[in-house]
A and B are shown apart, each in its own frame.
Chain A
Amino acid sequence: MLAEAIFFSAVLFTIGVIGVLTRRNAIIIFMCVELMLNAVNLSFVAFARAYGVAGQIFVFFVMTVAAAEAAVGLAIIIALFRHKQTVNLQNINLLRG
């Protein structure tokens, strides 16, 4: 089932990428990034079955980081929304050079 799992993982990852590229809502883009993380987790689990349990440990760490990232990221989005009254990234260009 390794090949199939990798196939699904790749497809999910690509969907996440397309989501990031086509949407402008910060929360949606954030969720797309979560989807990409999940896609990678799937391949990690599949590899763990084939090559050893270390893959599962990785998934564990990825989840931890994702949780932390979600907390901080959502806090940033809230702060941004307070400041700009929008989460549409087209209207946010604070980093413009």
Chain B
Amino acid sequence: MEHYPLFYTFHFYLFGLVAVASAILFVTRRSPVSAAMWLVSTMFSLAALYVMLDAPFIGVIQVLVYAGAIMVVFLFVIMLLNLGQASEIADVRSQGWRLAAGLVGLALLAEIFALTRSSSVSGLTLAPGTAARAVNDAGAVGMVAGPLFTTYLLPFEITSVLLLAAIVGSVMIGKQRRAADAR
């Protein structure tokens, strides 16, 4: 069993709990803007957890792409559509639905735990500290870049095509239709 210093453990739990708490606040806020802000908080906490889990490059990307780019786009859209008005506030389902959703969530959690408990792949487990050494040896970027540009080169190139398609698609969908086109 790997041993962790208390400082590490404390902060791990801290960020974990912050993430969970922010997530709960996120789903319970009526206003889309505050919900989005709480989601950003969750993502920051997750970035911290990534760094603590020996994935500093992913943590950085999390902040840049998720908390930065994607959430900003969400906020942009919320403001563009001028949501948060009274008509859009009443979007939460009734008490009965919420209770049912809670029960479903509990059941889902129970099942997930039951499954993670029952199955272990101990034979594949790396020696403790392997990932940390890799960060030291190859650098935070090199650790990911190595496999990405060798073993996973083809999927990586395909993602570029995917992104291009997404750009073209979103431009086409989001474009304001002219009267002539509408006909």
Contacts and interface: CB of A to CB of B under 8 A. Distances in A.
| Direct interface between A and B, CB < 8 A | yes
B52 to A, nearest CB: 8
A1 interface: yes
Interface residues of chain B: helix, strand, loop or mixed (majority): helix
Interface residues on A, range: 35 or more
Contacts of B83: 25, 27, 87
Interface residues on B, range: 35 or more
Contact of B131 (A4, A53, A74): A53
Given A70-B73, A88-B91, A75 B169 contact: yes
A69 B165 CA distance: 11
Nearest to A8: B16
Contacts of A82: 176
A67 B70 contact: yes
B102 interface: yes
B78 to A, nearest CB: 6
Nearest to A78: B174
Contact of B92 (A23, A70, A74): A23
Query: Closest 6 CB pairs between A and B?
Result: A68-B166, A75-B174, A75-B170, A19-B27, A21-B101, A75-B173
